[in-house]
Each structure stands twice: as C-alpha cells, then as structure tokens.
Structure 1
Amino acid sequence: MELRHLRYFVSVAEELHFRKAAEKLHIVQPALSKQISALEKELGVQLLERDRRHVTLTEAGRVFLEEALEVLAQADGAVARARAVSRGEVGRLNIGFIQPALADLLPRSLQAFRQHYPGVLLTLSEATSRMAVERISSRNMHFAFTRLPIDARPDLSTEVLSEEPVLLVVPRDHRLVERGSVRLPDLAGEDVILIDRKVEPELHDYYVALCNDAGFSPHVAHEVNSTSVAIGLAAGGLGVAFAPSSARLAAQHGVAYLPIEGEAPRLTMGALWHSGPRPTVLDNFLRLRPWEAAPPPAVRTRAVPVVSRGV
C-alpha cells in the first residue's frame, strides 16, 4: 500500500462518486476503480458499496477513512516540516554571548531575527571569548557575540561589529572621582581588579599592557571571572577595575565610571562563527544581519549622574 492509494480512497470517500473523484485526482475513472479494488483486495475488506447510481462507505470503510486521513495528515506535516527545516524556518540556533552584548546588541539582534523567523528556537548561553572559540570550533555553538581580535584560524570566521571605550570603575568615594577623569599613570600603586587570565587571556593581557605602556606594572589585588564581578568588588572598596562603557547600563550602586584621558583604550565587539558548511538556519541569521537592525526608540528619562549613590 502506498500513500497514493490512501489519497485515491479518501477522494472517492469524500465525493462518493468515482467520476468526480477521478476528475479531482486528474486520472481516468477506470484506473481509479482498479486502484480502489486493488486496495480492498490487499486489505481483505470491502471499503465501498457501489452500484451504477450510488457509492457508500461500509462500516470498515468509515473506520479506514478516519485512519487514512490521519496518516495523510502526518505525512503532509512531515513533508512541510522537512521543507521548513531546509529553508531554515524552523530548527534551533545556538548563540553565545559575552556579558556586554546584553546591553543592546544581543536583544536587538534576537528581536529582529524573530520577526523574520519566529519558528526558530533560540538557545542562548553566556560564554567567554575562549569558550566561544572552543564551542564554535567543535560545532557545539553556531554563532557568538564576542571580543575581537582572536588568533586567526582557518575554521573560524569573524566580523567586527562595534567598538566602545574602556572606562575606569572606582568606588564612589575614591580620590579620583572629584577629577571626573583619570590618567593611566594615576593608577600606579592602586589595587587593580582584573579578569582572570585563565578566563579571558586576551582581555587580561590587554589591560596589563595598558598599565605597562603607562609606565607601571599593575598591582593585581583580585582576579575575577567577569566584569560584573569586578565592578561589584570595586563598589565594595576592594580596588579599581577596567570596564567597557556599556557596563554603565547595568545598575550598580557605589561606583563611579571615569573616562580615561588621552587616546582612550577601546574594546572591539565582534561576530564569530564556523567557516565550514553551515546549517540553513545560521545562513539565514548571517544573511539577515540582525545586529544592523535599528535600535528601539530611546525613552526619555531624567539625566542620571555618573556616580551611583547607594540607597
């Protein structure tokens, strides 16, 4: 028995007329009658009562019709789902991100992508730049918003998306707050909170190099696994920390964000994905470039001072 036999039977059962059913199926009536007879012979039951004027369903035919409709619906659904997957309209997209992407880039990109592909399940996971490289290389992640540059590799593709200045985060009662900005040499002798090199080696080395270029080696008081933790320790008076300017968007009491004088250091946000064969759902994401979608309209609020006050 083939699906076409079920379709032939369903058409006759719905029309209760062989000629009309044959026309609907675009086949000749004798061929349709022959196929129905062959189906009944294969099943070993009579599905239809017919004479020259009337066609009616037997009891077995009524039961078989219900089952045939269900089978055809499942088959049609399987075909539709397979085609949707091949077009990247359904499926799963695994996206990694570093914390600063939460400020705007990640939610804006996801919102734009979902408007075009609402059937795709988005799986999100926070990951350091090193973790993102490893997971994408092993194909356990499709795409990541991460820090650039990374060491060039033939299996990875990258694209620069944005840059932002580095700020110094200090306790709100720190001596530098009154100045409103800071020179890097002013940090000589300060307790510095840095990202652990085992977590983000490039970022750690970048901050250390900033201090070295300013003529001193930083006194590293604490090493942490994220910028948000570094800011939290600074709020507790345990040192000063470097942070991207987007960190100001996350409320944190007890700290001030000071611009760095001169040619301010900058951090680069980028996109990372595997350069080999890609699933269609990732091709759609890259082709759409949702990170270029316009940001939502700004909401007017009162000006907020740079120094966060405790409550």
Structure 2
Amino acid sequence: MERHEIEAFLTLAEELHFRRTSERLGLAQGRVSQTIKKLERRIGVPLFERTSRRVALTPVGQQLREDLLPVRQQLQRAVDRAVAMGRGITGVLHVGYSSPMVAEILLKAIETFRSRYPDCEIEIHEVQISDPLGRIRSGQLHLQVSEGPLDEPDLTLGPVLLSEQRMLMVPTGHPFARRASVSLEDLAESTLLAFAGPVPQSWLDHHFPRQTPRGRPVPHGHPSTYWTEVLNLVGRGKGVSPACEGAQRYYARPDVAWVPFGDAPPVEYRFLWPTSGETARVRAFVETVCEVTGVPRL
C-alpha cells in the first residue's frame, strides 16, 4: 500500500464520512472514493459498508485499521526524524533553570520533545542565582530560563515561561509576618539579604534595591552565594529577602513566613540564549515548551 492510500483509508475509518474525510485530506471527495474502491479491489473484499445514511467498517476493514495504525505512526516517526536531522535537531541540548518550578515545567515538555526529535537529547542543569549568566556565556548551556529583567547585548530574550507573584520572606517573629501584605517602602525597615557574585547590576537593583521608590535607603546584610544560605539567614532572624510565590511549595519551613508584596511587579522567568548560538535545536525546544504549556511564542 502507498502512503496516500493508508492515509485515505485510516482517515475515512476515523471519520466514517466521505465529505469530512476529503476536507481533512484536502482532496476532492471523488478522489477519496476512487482511492478506497481501488484499495478494495486489490484486497478483494469491501472495507466499508456504504448506505445513503451511514458509512461503517466491515470486519475486514476493522482488522485492517488495527494493523495499519502502528504502520502510520512508524511512518510519521520516520518522516519526523528525517526532518529533524535535516534541520540539525540532533545531539544534546543543555538547558539551564534557576527555580524548581521551571524545572518541573521543562521535565514535562521534554517527553513531548523526545517523541518528536528522538535524535536530540535534553539535559537540564540548575543555575546558581549568584552567577546567573556564567554557564550560558561559557558555552556549557545552550538555553536557559531565568528570572528577569535581563538586558544583555550578547543574549536573545525569548518568551516569558512563568510569571509568579513576588513575596517577601521574613522570620516568623518579624512584625511583617503578621501582615496581609508588604510594600516596597517597607524594605527600608528591615535588612535585605542579597547575593554575591557576577550578577548584572540592573538585575540586583531590581530584586534587591538600595533604596525604596520614595528614595529611602534600604539596609543590606552580608550577601550570600546560595539560595539555602539566604533561607537559613532569614530563619535565624538576620534579615528578609524577596522570592516568588511558587517557591514556597519547595522551601517552606517553620521559621520563615512568606508575605506577598502589594505593589511589586511579578517575578518573570524568561527563556534566553546566546544570540550567536540560536540554532534549530534551541528554537524547536522553545516552541515545544510553549506549545505544551500554552505560552504564546514571541
């Protein structure tokens, strides 16, 4: 059987309606009918029972459908694989993430990606918040999803994958812990715990400002290198630090309270990749993740 015969037969077996089948295949209805009749003559028995009111599979047609479905799937995989190889979607794609929420999303999308591009493997790697761009600039990562805002001339920004409400982590005994919300002005009344390392200054100023919107100075404590250090310092009453709402599911602890900001923008996790390293693999994975999550593409 030729592929167009397989497609015509299986589509009609699914639709059980010649007009809908012709519309799906983009063929004239007479062409579909001729293809099915030719197939039936070759096999020697009817595959469909046709009346003026209905179309139904015969027992032979039902058996043929069950036998051909795996064949069509195998043919489609072969075509997809050839297309992927032709586009260069092979090898290993290293993807970075800076939060467990993002990792969870990426892992779900990887299964769909692998089914489409079996010759391309995805490996995900955690990116330390104290050095958010080091690994992607060194070439260890091809693609990354990190907190914005980032405006670097050597990096291309993709779509926002996840947007989370901004929270403030405070010690459970802190006065803020009893509030329904806090404001950016409140940061002037506590010690803000930030991070040390090669972090873009604009990124630090956005997440760990030195002054409030009204110009009041914000005290800063000793900077940390790892996220767990900040959690421990907050729990010990050494200061406060911003986070996003989703992180509470992974890092909740009895000595830390999470209070929402009432006036701060959300924390946005966005795709980014080296402008000189935009490849078919990168584009294909970003498109797959956006499709799986329903995120609009840029």
TM class by smaller structure: 0.5 to 0.7
Partners of 2:170 and 2:230 in 1: CA distance = 10
C-alpha deviation, 1:179, in angstroms: 2.0
- Indicate the residue corresponding to 1:92 in structure 2: 92
1:264 positional shift: 2.4
Do residues 121 (structure 1) and 121 (structure 2) align?
Answer: yes
- Is the aligned partner of 1:185 residue 2:185? yes
1:1-311 residue pairs with structure 2 within 5 A? 85-88=85-88, 90-99=90-99, 101-102=101-102, 104-128=104-128, 133-153=133-153, 155-161=154-160, 162-196=162-196, 198-199=198-199, 201-209=201-209, 211-253=211-253, 254-261=255-262, 263-276=263-276, 278-286=278-286, 288-294=287-293
Percent of paired sites with the same residue: 26
**Residue 67 of structure 1: aligned partner:** none
Name the SS for the 1:218 alignment partner.
coil
Q: CA deviation at 1:148?
A: 2.7
Shift of 1:229: 3.0
Q: After superposition, give the CA deviation of every residue in 1:9-47 in whole Å (9 maximum; x if it has no partner).
A: xxxxxxxxxxxxxxxxxxxxxxxxxxxxxxxxxxxxxxx
- Does the 8 Å contact 2:135/2:141 carry over to 1? yes
Cα offsets for 1:251-290 (capped at 9, x unmatched): 32121110122x223222111123336444334323x331
Give the Å deviation of 1:95. 0.9
Amino acid at match of 1:107: L
Q: Which residue of 1 aligns with 2:17?
A: none
Aligned residues, how many? 212
Question: In structure 2, what residue type is equivalent to 1:167?
Answer: M
The one-letter amino acid paired with 2:292 is A
The structure-2 alpha-carbon separation of the partners of 1:84 and 1:171, relative to structure 1 and needing over 3 Å to count, comes to same
SS in 2 for 1:219: coil
Q: Is the 8 A contact 2:233 2:239 kept in 1?
A: yes
Structure 1 CA distance for aligned equivalents of residues 216 and 179 of structure 2: 21
- 1:146-183 deviation line (CA, Å, top 9, x unaligned): 23332342x43212314322111011222222222223
Q: Distance in 2 between matches of 1:277 and 1:240?
A: 38
1:93 touches 1:120 (CA, 8 Å); kept in 2?
yes
Cα deviation for residue 225 of structure 1 reads: 2.3
In the aligned structure 2, how far is the partner of 1:269 from the partner of 1:160?
Answer: 9
Q: Quick one: distance in 2 between partners of 1:246 and 1:228?
A: 16
Q: Retained in 1: the 8 A contact 2:209–2:218?
A: no
| Aligned-partner Cα distance in 2 for 1:193–1:242 | 8
Q: Which amino acid aligns with 1:264?
A: A
Change (3 A) 1:138 1:224: closer
User: Cα offset for 1:238?
Assistant: 1.9
Secondary structure of 1:202's aligned partner: helix
Shift of 1:242: 0.8
SS at match of 1:187: helix
Q: Give 1:137 deviation, angstroms.
A: 4.4
TM-score by length of 2: 0.59
CA distance in 2, matches of 1:280, 1:183: 43
Q: Rg: which structure is higher?
A: 1
Q: Distance in 2 between matches of 1:187 and 1:152?
A: 28
Deviations 1:36-64 (A, max 9, x none): xxxxxxxxxxxxxxxxxxxxxxxxxxxxx
**For 2:261 and 2:210, how far apart are their aligned partners in 1?**
11
Instruction: Supply the distance in 2 between the matched residues of 1:245 and 1:174 (Cα, whole angstroms).
Output: 19
Structure 1 unaligned residues grouped into runs of 5+: 1-80, 296-311
Within 2, Cα distance between the matches of 1:116 and 1:138?
Answer: 29
What is the SS of the residue equivalent to 1:195? coil
Q: CA deviation at 1:103?
A: 5.8
